[in-house]
Amino acid sequence: MHNSPAPLDAVSRPVDYLRISITDRCNERCLYCLPEGFTAWTEREEILTYEELLHVARAATALGFRKFRVTGGEPLVRRNASDFLAALIAQPGVEHVGLSTNGIRLSASARALAEAGLRSANISLDAVEPAIYRRITGGNVREVIAGIEAAQAAGISTIKLNAVLIRGVNENQIWPLVQFAASRELILRFIELMPVSLTSVLNEENFFPVGEAKKAVASRTAMIPDLTRHGNGPAAYYRLPELSATVGFIGALTDLHFCETCNKMRLTADGSIRPCLGNHGEIDLKPALRPRADAARLRKLFLQALRDKPREHSFRDRYQPNRVMTAIGG
């Protein structure tokens, strides 16, 4: 007998959603994501090949995973990302595939992604004011807006915008972001800053709780709780009837019920299964993939990861980041 909490398994909680980071490389350098001057990208041969990723997806669907998200780093900096998406979407047992992107390369690839069968994308947009966007990401917000327009025109019909809240940097963007999303009929989610990076990205000065963001929106317009599920995430949604808009709040640190409905696991760019974003535990799948894929061994490692999934994250517990977010995939 031991006193640690009983492990979760696929039966006690349906874990059916895998986020796949296809690269740790990124064409932006967000304040909250990469340490300044970071160049320690994973060696190319350590990154799983598309074929290996499909083996992992097959092992996942065999265990009941149905939903997948392709992320990174920036997934659109990896060559032929749309071919991989097409293959993943076509794989038996795969019911939903979404893409997470910063949108910078989206206008160039939206059509190919739509042709690959992609219908759902989450696009990071932390500010609409160009100077603030540049300060946070180093990039050009006009490219992201062009990417959003191209994705909509190409038929990627479910688009959500994600904005990470940073006190002293983008709190004055809360209302402009709401107006922008409403004008494009897009769902917007505000996300609390999480301590995931290699350096401390979160401190008492820059943390901006979603409760404050909610108040900022409520001071401008009426908000009605919306219990409809908009996707698979832990966001609490509100309808804004005066704007015909929907806004979500992801309280990764302040929402004490945050982990209760977590149905996700993550595959890092270098091939480890991570049962929880906010816990260092990982299981390396490479021994089951190289020199050749071994389905029985992959299954065993997946089952181990399901058993290891903690009941809740450790972010509130003096969590010390030890991985860049770009490798984990957010």
Q: Which amino acid is at 172?
A: N
Q: Which of 130, 81, 87, 69 is nearest to 106 (CA)?
A: 81
Q: Does 20 bind ligand SAM (CB under 6 A)?
A: no
Q: Does 98 bind ligand SAM (CB under 6 A)?
A: no
Nearer Cβ to ligand SAM, position 101 or 170? 101
Q: Answer yes or no: are the C-beta atoms of 268 and 222 closer than 8 Å.
A: no
Q: Which of 29, 10, 12 is nearest to 299 (CA)?
A: 10
Q: Does 65 bind ligand SAM (CB under 6 A)?
A: no
Nearer Cβ to ligand SAM, position 26 or 47? 26
Q: Does 201 bind ligand SAM (CB under 6 A)?
A: yes
Residues 6+ apart with CB under 8 A from 202: 32, 193, 194, 195
* Count of residues near ligand SAM by CB under 6 A: 22
Question: In this chain, which of 16, 24, 52, 74 binds ligand SAM, going by CB under 6 A?
Answer: 74
Q: Answer yes or no: are the C-beta atoms of 306 and 9 closer than 8 Å.
A: yes
Q: Does 170 bind ligand SAM (CB under 6 A)?
A: no
Q: Does 194 bind ligand SAM (CB under 6 A)?
A: yes
* Min separation Cβ 249 and ligand SAM, Å: 13
- Cα of first residue to Cα of last residue in the chain, in angstroms, is 35
Q: Which single residue brings its beta carbon nearest to ligand SAM?
A: 330
Site string for ligand SAM, 100-129 (x = CB under 6 A): xxx---------------------x-----
Nearer Cβ to ligand SAM, position 203 or 304? 203
Q: How far apart are CA 158 and CA 155, in angstroms?
A: 9
Q: Does 196 bind ligand SAM (CB under 6 A)?
A: yes
Residues 6+ apart with CB under 8 A from 126: 30, 132, 133, 136, 137, 163, 164, 166, 170, 173
Q: How far apart are CA 211 and CA 219, in angstroms?
A: 12
Question: In this chain, which of 42, 187, 326, 327 binds ligand SAM, going by CB under 6 A?
Answer: 326
Where on the chain is the footprint of ligand SAM (CB under 6 A)? 26, 32-33, 71-72, 74, 100-102, 124, 162, 164, 191, 193-194, 196-197, 201, 325-326, 329-330
